[in-house]
Chains A and B, each alone.
Chain A
Amino acid sequence: MTVRTVLLVAAALIAVGLYGALSQQVVVMVMMGLELMLNGLILAVAGLWWFCAPDPSGQVLLLVVLTAMTVEMAMGFAVATSLHRLRRSDLTDTAADLSG
């Protein structure tokens, strides 16, 4: 376990999450892709903290990433609920009002 191997695993998680976020049609599945990317980010930050600069401020950054993740999930669920209520649909293609 070195900083390189930890970052390699994190890169794999980010890439898989990116595939999901780009390709999925259901809003919840897009959110899962974003979550997976943040999952990789958590691992990368944790690895960099431990192997490069293990002082407590790095852990504070990790807590900020976790907060971003929580906010993303809560707001995503709220938007998907609103979308479902208004349009009876949970597909990203029906929520393209802001595109273009």
Chain B
Amino acid sequence: MLTHLVFWGLAVVAVLAGVAVFVVNSMARASYSLALSFIAVGLQVLLLQQLYVGVLVILMMVMEMAIMAVYMNMFMGMNPAMMSMNMVHGARHALPVSVGVFLLLAAGALFAPWPSRRGSPPEDVTVALGTELMGPKMLTMGVVGVVMAATIVSGVVLAAHRTRYDRFGDDLRRRRVADPQPGGVGR
């Protein structure tokens, strides 16, 4: 009974905080609302006995929203706490589309003949996940690692102001470095 109450409480918080992201009148509040929604979902995942993934969701999203707050302070060119949030386009279509999608998904969730549980959960879910990742699902772990590394490289290349490709050309073969302000000792 207590689990049900906690679940529904967290569900209300998650959805209302999600709605608040697009309703509040400041980007800072929007990112904190999103963080709150993620924390509520992370706690629900904990209720579903996935301790590692639940804690990971909470920690990751709190850090991500902290980065987002810094990002807004750096780039938005205004006080992020005071920005008007009435910046939408096509809201007239977006609202009916999202309500329609909700009704469709809700109908599927409520009326589909969901199967009864197959098998039983492992005794220690986290150990089972680790064993799976380091054993039969090693390929997934390897691919995830490579994708993360590629993301770091692509993110830096996209976000950097000037890289060696700007200075030495796309094939890195330019003899004279293209710097806006020539440096060195004039040779």
Residues of A bordering B, CB below 8 Å: 1, 3-20, 22-26, 28-29, 32-33, 35-36, 39-40, 42-43, 46-47, 49-57, 59-60, 62-64, 66-67, 70-71, 73-75, 77-82, 84-85, 90-91, 93
In the complex with contacts A26-B87, A36-B21, A50-B53 CB distance below 8 A: no
Instruction: State how many angstroms separate the Cβ of A72 from the closest Cβ of chain B.
Output: 9
The 9 closest A-B pairs by CB, nearest first: A15-B102, A7-B109, A11-B105, A23-B94, A54-B121, A22-B94, A19-B98, A78-B158, A56-B132
In the complex with contacts A28-B72, A49-B50, A1-B7 CB distance below 8 A: yes
Return the chain B residue nearest A35 by Cβ.
B34
In the complex, which of the residues A13, A23, A29, A56 contacts B18, with contact meaning CB atoms closer than 8 Å?
A13
14 example contacts (A-B, Cβ-Cβ < 8 A) are as follows A8-B110, A12-B106, A18-B101, A19-B94, A19-B95, A23-B95, A29-B22, A33-B21, A42-B41, A42-B53, A52-B115, A52-B118, A56-B129, A74-B155
A100 to B179, CA, bound (A): 36
Q: Is B144 located at the chain interface by the 8 A CB criterion?
A: yes
In the complex, which of the residues A12, A23, A28, A70 contacts B102, with contact meaning CB atoms closer than 8 Å?
A12
**Consensus secondary structure, chain A interface:** helix
Return the chain A residue nearest B21 by Cβ.
A32
How many residue pairs, one in A and one in B, have C-beta atoms under 8 Å apart? 231
Q: Is B62 located at the chain interface by the 8 A CB criterion?
A: no
A16 to B147, CA, bound (A): 28
Residues of B139-164 contacting chain A, CB below 8 A: 140, 144, 147-148, 151-152, 154-156, 158-159, 161
A60 to B130, CA, bound (A): 9
Instruction: State how many angstroms separate the Cβ of B95 from the closest Cβ of chain A.
Output: 6
Q: Is B89 located at the chain interface by the 8 A CB criterion?
A: yes
Q: Which residues of the other chain, A, contact B27 by a CB distance below 8 angstroms?
A: 26, 28-29
In the complex, which of the residues B14, B22, B68, B101 contacts A23, with contact meaning CB atoms closer than 8 Å?
B22
